[in-house]
Structure 1
Amino acid sequence: METSKVDTYIIANAKSFKSEQIPFIRERLLAADDSKWVALQSIPLKDSTTSLILSILLGYLGIDRFYIGDIGLGIFKLITCGGFGFWAIIDWFLIIGATKSKNTNYLLSLI
């Protein structure tokens, strides 16, 4: 892919990925062919701020995990009322990193 396209994508979506993963993502995007550009633009990246707000307000129901695509963990949190409250509180600190990791994994699986 062209360097200008890759840099534009990284600048526009840097907040959706962990900062230590950005150089690796950039290398993988540069190695990808141009036919992936349209698909790359249509990736629905999850917002980490939204997942944090969902975790604080509705984390005991597992809504935060459903939002990022962890359906199994969401069901488990729903059944146990957020791990009896403990897991819901712990997720307040972990959900941003989990969201960014999910975004990275989804992007890398596409290219």
Structure 2
Amino acid sequence: MDANTVLMMISDKIPSQSLIFVQEKLKNSSEDKINTIVTLNFKSHIIGLILGLFFGLYGIDRFYKGDITLGIVKLITFIIGTITTFIYIGFIILIGLWIWTIVDYFLVWKGIKKDNLKKNFNCIGINIF
């Protein structure tokens, strides 16, 4: 496969501002590295968003992205907030968690694309991050 075809295949999976840089690096890469990029398992930012919308309070979006520690923290925060709602502090915890979940919609969306870009560069042999 040529570099332009691979770039078209991965263009929606990496940050748009990186496309020119990736195109330049792909043109200078060997055929083997380009073919390896095609076989990489990139995560979908859309699936990350859907998981965040439906299961974000439980940290499932973070687990999918690969941020296991933050996923566990979100899950524990949800459990503690739910348990302590009878003394009203739980409501404050859950409101904070709800705000964190809304912010995570954007962070996970961009983070998955950035992780895919990092995976792409590691495959090519560029350690930029």
1:103 to partner: Cα distance: 0.6
Whole-angstrom CA distance in 2 between matches of 1:6 and 1:73: 36
% identical aligned pairs: 33
The aligned residue for residue 95 of structure 1 is: 108
The aligned residue for residue 59 of structure 1 is: 56
Q: Which moved more, 1:92-101 or 1:76-85?
A: 76-85
Partner letter of residue 5 of structure 2? T
Whole-angstrom CA distance in 2 between matches of 1:67 and 1:20: 24
1:95 to partner: Cα distance: 2.0
Query: Alpha carbon RMSD of aligned pairs, Å?
Result: 1.8
Question: How many residue pairs get matched?
Answer: 108
1:38 to partner: Cα distance: 3.2
Instruction: Give 4+ residue runs of structure 1 displaced > 4 Å after superposition.
Output: none
Structure 2: unaligned runs, 5 residues or longer: 79-93, 125-129
1:64 to partner: Cα distance: 0.8
Q: TM-score, normalised by structure 1?
A: 0.85
Structure 1: unaligned runs, 5 residues or longer: none
